[in-house]
Amino acid sequence: MISKHLDTNSPRSAAAGDSLYNVDQIRRQASKSLLEGALTENYPLDVEKACALLNEALATEILCVLRYRHHQVIAKGISSSDIAKEFAEHAANEEEHMIMIAERINQLGGDPDMNPATVASRAVTEYGHGKDLVTLIREDLVAERIVIDVYRKLVGWFGLEDPTTRRMLEKILKDEEEHANELADLLVANEDRQERDAH
């Protein structure tokens, strides 16, 4: 059981008149609302807005997982096996992103919204309706380019105020940029193949 009478006095704080922080004040604040976990009184951003932005990113990642899995299953053509594997790898990456974002929302005291009924309306990307390989690749590349711009903006918004969330988003952004480069290479190769097959 956590003691209700925590020692909040620090011998160091008396000498820290021009310090970056007041140790006694931080100790007092940390001993309040213990069930809020990582979310302290000094969290500098609007926590509701932070969770809303992250829930939008969460919905986008869920939709990306579904789109990549769908594309993995329906991919047809000469190089479809290799491309289906690529779609599967991207889907697995997006699922990792989904869990990372959901866990961060939870750490911030929010509710990770995974409601399947509203995912598509909350995501910044679209599900897609392509059938041939080139269209599937193009749909995924467009989606990746959209999320790259969105994550760049989110990194800027969280900035120095919430370095934990910013670093998570930077890691996701790096992955999305790699996906976009891989898809761009696949698109060029398969558009060339499609043109050759048409002649």
Q: Which CATH architecture has domain 47-198?
A: Up-down Bundle (1.20)
Label residue 32 exposed, middle or buried (CB < 10 Å: 0-12, 13-18, 19+). Answer: exposed
Confidence of residue 93 (pLDDT cuts 50, 70, 90): very high
Angle between helices 80-107 and 47-74 (to 10 degrees): 160
% helix, strand, coil for the chain, step of 5? 70, 0, 30
Residue type, 194: Q
For the chain, what are the domain ranges? 47-198
On average, the pLDDT of the chain sits at 87
Residue whose structure tokens are 């392509």: 130
Residue 26 has what pLDDT? 66
Confidence of residue 76 (pLDDT cuts 50, 70, 90): confident
pLDDT at 23 over 60: yes
Q: What is the pLDDT of residues 124-139, one digit of tens each?
A: 999 999 999 999 999 9
b/e 98-113 (16+ beta carbons within 10 angstroms → b): bebbbebbeebbbebb
Residue 198 has what pLDDT? 60
Note the pTM of the prediction, 2 decimals: 0.80
